[in-house]
Structure 1
Amino acid sequence: MKWSLTLGRVAGIRILVHWTFVLLLGWVAFTESQRGSDLNTILLAIGFVLSVFACVVLHELGHALTAKKYGIKTRMITLLPIGGVASLERMPESPKQELLVAVAGPAVNVVIAFILWLVLPGLQAIPSDEFFMRITPANFLYLLLFVNIMLVLFNAIPAFPMDGGRVLRALLAFKLGRVRATQIAANLGQLLAIVFVFYGFLTNPFLILIGLFVFFGAYTENMMVQHLDFLRGHSVREGMMTNYVTLTPDNTVRDALEKLLMGSEHEFIVEQDGNVVGTLTRSQLIQALKENKTDTPVAEIMTQEFVSFDVKDKLSAAYTELQKSRSPLYPVLENGRLAGVINTDNINEFIMIKSALVN
């Protein structure tokens, strides 16, 4: 993710913190200073926020390490002011596996809360509202226990992209199948999101942000699953383009610009006698033009490291790769030689046709 700082790696998973996280710490420090808190109290409040997000990282690691057992990699865990995001390559399609991956995160918070409950002395009375208003050395761990319980309850909401939505989908999928289960869970999630938004207007504006996050998360999940279902059983050969323009390594930037203007292509495959040697994008061409490199061979500015697909690969796998990659165009090979190209737009058109045929 752009504008993120790498904090380290755990089990090969990068832990990132987004720059906006600094705004949260600044807001905490500002709020405490406005209340007249001294430096020690401000630092304690910041330390509490960092402790909460350490629990969030452990929560996300619970998901990631459980997914790893099923051969699913996690590229990174990113900390944002609203929480953490584990970037799993995909969710398991097996309901049992998805259920275990979804439950693993909140289970970590249950364990943390249980450990804190064991080590902390019991409270003599029900805490007052003031107990929760300010972080002190006396209530620090008690509040951390409370936050972990709230994380479990919040993630239990049966709405995507919360864990509760994935648990609901997994349970429904045992009987209804993944597509229908996703539709039901997503619709429920969007209904709850609308409730959050309206309630947020009346009480806490932060609920509006949560509601929007849930609504669009549910919509995206539902569309993704439906699209993958349309692509199931189809190969890359069926979704690739065979009418395309290529360049050779000896073509100049001027040659490429002429082809850019003459047609609708924005990206090009660079090939030599059927062997793909690189890819070239419009932005690379414009940059070369700005640097007055019109007579430079495209071999000097093209991208030589690229991902390719075979005509026999699953179209659904290509779609998933295109969704998470920044590369706009992929070469498709047959017996090691260029047979076609594929991009997101063409797969979306394939999905649109399949959807129209079903309806």
Structure 2
Amino acid sequence: MTAGLGLGRLVPGLGDALAKVTVTSVSLPIALGLLVMMYPVLAKVRYDRLGTVTRDQRLLIPSLVLNWIVGPALMFALAWIFLPDLPEYRTGLIIVGLARCIAMVIVWNDLACGDREAAAVLVALNSVFQVLAFSLLGWFYLSVLPGWIGLEQTALDVSIWEIARSVLIFLGIPLLAGFLTRRLGEKAKGRTWYETKLIPRIGPFALYGLLFTIVVLFALQGDAITSQPLDVARIALPLLVYFALMWAGSMAVGRAVGLDYPKATTLAFTAAGNNFELAIAVAIATFGATSGQALAGVVGPLIEVPVLIGLVYVALAARRFFPQTTPATGPVISPEGSARV
């Protein structure tokens, strides 16, 4: 983050140059970073286990409720509570709340030892719902609901194709690549070779892609962030509350419905994370690149990244509050966090 801010401030024109490198209005550097980040994690997924995840109603139902009812409603409420006098920033935050996770959450989940297969299923479901429901929810939360309760109304005009394009780029490409890598790799060399030889080689690229994406994000907006610190702080406050409430509440729901630690962790991170690529793209396309809505969209991931990295450590510390399970193979994790084979 420091490197990105420094580059954005010290290298003249870097942010503008990065912003101009686009493919169909999608930032190419950010897209490449995200694809490199997500591919290794999706290559680790055991796709033959997905059927058991989809049958787990204790996971699927809470996830859909938290993502598509609780999350947007909470962000709407926080935006109006904290930013009643700043309509542009408020609208930008509401758009962030409508864009549910499909990208970085896969890495947060993996770092926190969540259920990889469950994360793949929930992210795929969020992607489908995003294409179908984003425009409708935007119309409801920005035009209909404020009118019902006597608040200021805002219009949001975004096509289904814009949403579908984001989903196809940021999820479809790495998902297909990960699936084909596992399918062809296991077929050619066997599962043992795939798990013990190939995965350790490609695994580190997830973190390389994550670090690259963070540097590019901060470099793109370094000037705006450092020149408007008070505005950024006001936008950041409701975001901090949102991430904390969504993550902690989802973790508690997972524990209450009887999920084990990996699935409860997956539930929490997929509910707390947001699809900032889509939120920024929609804000820029609808209100302009220099609008307050776009700035609010950009501040979203800049707050989400450090907060959710911190929550990875909180999740790992919370393992002791969940029933301990002993897998058939692999490490056994004690309540204190130590591992033995």
Look at both structures and tell me which one has the larger radius of gyration over its CA atoms: 1
Which protein, 1 or 2, shows the higher relative CO under an 8 Å CA cutoff with sep ≥ 6? 2
Fold match by TM threshold 0.5: no
Report the TM-score, using the length of structure 2 for normalisation.
0.32
